[in-house]
């Protein structure tokens, strides 16, 4: 273990963590750009390009099903990259995930449509979506650990929120670029305009890779790697045996955060344009405005969790989602632009209260030697059941109710209740020492003091 004398001075640490936070933010923004671009296209045009033989509703369901496929692949990415991230390091895995995501997105921009090659087109679309999900499954854990493990103990919530800011930044850029090209005449947009945002991914890969390669490995991992137990067990096996409770609670904590997010950012595009016959730009611009709000709110809530604890801030976000479940659609149904934007912004603020402290909260639940695997498993497995299915479930509920959104509101309340219970049962972690292994979970282990002790 490094001595105090060997540690860099505080000024150097401050400079270092800002560089790490910026690199985590930019790299994650690139990867989320790739992932969210698909969600926007699935909501607006993929039903026409890749599923034109279906009824419009069935085509939309099919497009959102391919959207969900990416979430199915994310746990596999979390397992693979989590294992190697705990064995070999965080930094090298982040470069690999960036290239996988970027190349898959670039490939989508080159795909022939159903009109050109028939069923081969949606089959190739699903394959590339699987690669996107696989890459993103490994991305999140590495990015947040680089920020959290570099951060000063009393600022982990704030700096851990920087890679989380990559999500709204990526969606902001993806939605903005898509909005620009969607202004083309419909025939040009469907012929080639939709491809350009996907092809631009190749430029972003280079920028993200250059920035990430300039950052050093996290000190917590370096300290762990030099210890005698660094090669004791397979991380994926150890985390499942030692931390099953934390994994399940992390999964539950994501249900409202992840599921509601895709209702208010992806499904709302379909609901607004197809159910309410609103202009495409009205809803897209609302999502753009909300993502600007999101970008500001995430670090504020991350910083708040350093002061008040992870659980109170996170619980507040889940309560906000539940309370907004019905008013959200009441505001959208007015068809008034300002009220539509207000609804999306209120939803995104509730989401930010959970998403801001999430990186530090999940990271602090696990010991260093299995942290990448544990945080990734809890985060990515929940994405299959929550975010990956929520636009599909919302579309089906809307159709089943004859176009009434109240069943979707009940669905949002249900997601929020799962998160409320899970976070309530979790330990408070913001005062723990992240450089030491977290204790194994036990039925008495959730007293909330957040202290973490060395485990033999």
The predicted structure's pLDDT at residue 337: 93
Task: Using the predicted structure, report yes or no on whether residue 2 has a pLDDT greater than 50.
Answer: no
Residue 376: inside a domain: yes
Most confident range (mean pLDDT) of 93-107, 169-183, 392-406, 439-453 is 392-406
CATH number at residue 22: 1.20.1250.20
In this prediction, residues 84-105 reach a mean pLDDT of: 77
pLDDT-derived band at 133, boundaries 50, 70, 90: confident
The predicted structure's pLDDT at residue 6: 40
Residue 221: inside a domain: no
Q: Per mean pLDDT, which range of 69-83, 379-393, 400-414 is the poorest?
A: 69-83
Residue 44: inside a domain: yes
Residue 451: inside a domain: no
Q: List the one residue out of 134, 156, 131, 161 whose CA is nearest residue 28.
A: 161
Please, how many CA atoms are within 13 Å of residue 327, restricted to the half-sphere of its CB? 13
The answer, as to whether pTM is greater than 0.85, is no
pLDDT-derived band at 223, boundaries 50, 70, 90: low
The predicted structure's pLDDT at residue 308: 95
282-305 per-residue burial string, b: 16 or more CB within 10 A, e: under 16? bbbbbbbbbbebbbebbbebbbbb
The predicted structure's pLDDT at residue 8: 42
The token duo for 163 is 């890679």
Task: Using the predicted structure, report yes or no on whether residue 448 has a pLDDT greater than 60.
Answer: no
The predicted structure's pLDDT at residue 262: 87
Q: How many Cβ atoms are within 10 Å of 204's Cβ, its own excluded?
A: 23
Task: Using the predicted structure, report yes or no on whether residue 360 has a pLDDT greater than 80.
Answer: yes
Task: Using the predicted structure, report yes or no on whether residue 424 has a pLDDT greater than 60.
Answer: yes
- In the chain, % of residues over pLDDT 70: 82
The predicted structure's pLDDT at residue 341: 95
Which pLDDT tens digit goes with each residue over 273-320? 888 888 878 888 888 899 899 999 999 999 999 999 999 999 999 999
Question: Quick check: helix, strand or coil at residue 455?
Answer: coil
Task: Using the predicted structure, report yes or no on whether residue 130 has a pLDDT greater than 80.
Answer: yes
Residue 432: inside a domain: no
* Beta strand residue intervals within 145-229, DSSP E: none
Q: How many Cβ atoms are within 10 Å of 323's Cβ, its own excluded?
A: 14
Greater confidence (378 vs 175) lies with: 378
How far is it, in rounded angstroms, from Cα 51 to Cα 44?
12
C-alpha torsion 80→83→87→93, nearest 10: 40
Residue 24: inside a domain: yes
Residue 154: inside a domain: yes
The predicted structure's pLDDT at residue 60: 66
Task: Using the predicted structure, report yes or no on whether residue 399 has a pLDDT greater than 80.
Answer: yes
Residue 102: inside a domain: yes
How far is it, in rounded angstroms, from Cα 3 to Cα 13?
15
Total number of domains in the chain: 1
pLDDT-derived band at 9, boundaries 50, 70, 90: very low
Domain assignment of residue 363, given as a range? 15-213+231-425
In angstroms, how far is CA 150 from the centroid of its own chain?
21
Task: Using the predicted structure, report yes or no on whether residue 210 has a pLDDT greater than 80.
Answer: no
How far is it, in rounded angstroms, from Cα 175 to Cα 165?
15
The predicted structure's pLDDT at residue 453: 36
How far is it, in rounded angstroms, from Cα 235 to Cα 145?
15
In this prediction, residues 142-146 reach a mean pLDDT of: 82
């Amino acid at each position: 273990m490094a001595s105090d004398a060997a540690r860099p001075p505080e000024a150097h640490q401050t400079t270092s963590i800002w560089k790490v936070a910026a690199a985590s933010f930019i790299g994650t923004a690139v990867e989320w750009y790739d992932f969210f671009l698909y969600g926007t296209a699935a909501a607006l045009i993929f039903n026409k390009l890749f599923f034109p033989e279906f009824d419009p509703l069935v085509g939309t369901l099919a497009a959102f099903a391919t959207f969900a496929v990416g979430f199915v692949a994310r746990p596999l990415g979390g397992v693979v990259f989590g294992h190697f991230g705990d064995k070999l390091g965080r930094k090298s895995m982040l470069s690999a995930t960036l290239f996988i995501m970027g190349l898959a997105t670039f490939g989508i921009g080159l795909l022939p449509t159903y009109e050109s090659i028939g069923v081969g087109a949606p089959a190739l679309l699903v394959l590339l979506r699987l690669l996107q999900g696989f890459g993103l499954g490994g991305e999140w854990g590495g990015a947040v650990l680089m920020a959290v493990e570099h951060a000063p103990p009393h600022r982990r919530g704030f700096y851990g929120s920087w890679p989380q800011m990559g999500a709204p930044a990526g969606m902001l850029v993806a939605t903005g670029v898509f909005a620009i090209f969607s202004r083309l005449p419909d025939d040009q947009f469907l012929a080639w305009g939709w491809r350009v945002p996907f092809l631009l991914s190749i430029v972003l890969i280079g920028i993200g890779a250059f920035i990430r390669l300039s950052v050093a490995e996290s000190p917590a991992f370096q300290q762990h790697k030099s210890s005698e137990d660094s090669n004791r067990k397979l991380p994926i096996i150890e985390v499942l045996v030692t931390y099953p409770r934390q994994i399940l609670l992390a999964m539950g904590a994501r249900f409202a955060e992840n599921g509601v997010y895709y209702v208010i950012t992806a499904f709302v595009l379909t609901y607004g344009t197809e159910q309410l016959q609103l202009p495409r730009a009205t809803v897209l611009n609302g999502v753009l405005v909300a993502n600007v709000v999101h970008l500001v709110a995430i670090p504020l809530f991350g910083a708040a969790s350093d002061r008040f604890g992870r659980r109170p801030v996170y619980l507040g976000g889940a309560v906000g989602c539940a309370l907004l479940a019905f008013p959200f659609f009441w505001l959208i149904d007015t068809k008034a632009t300002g009220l539509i934007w207000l609804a999306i912004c209120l939803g995104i603020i509730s989401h930010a209260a959970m998403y801001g402290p999430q990186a530090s909260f999940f990271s602090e639940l696990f010991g260093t030697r299995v942290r990448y695997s544990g945080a990734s498993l809890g985060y990515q497995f929940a994405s299959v059941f929550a975010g990956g299915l929520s636009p599909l479930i919302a579309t089906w509920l809307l159709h089943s109710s004859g176009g009434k959104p109240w069943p979707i509101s009940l669905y949002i309340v249900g997601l929020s209740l799962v998160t409320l219970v899970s976070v309530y049962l979790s330990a408070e972690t913001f005062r723990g020492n992240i450089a030491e292994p977290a204790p194994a979970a036990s039925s008495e282990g959730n007293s909330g003091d957040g202290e973490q002790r060395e485990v033999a």
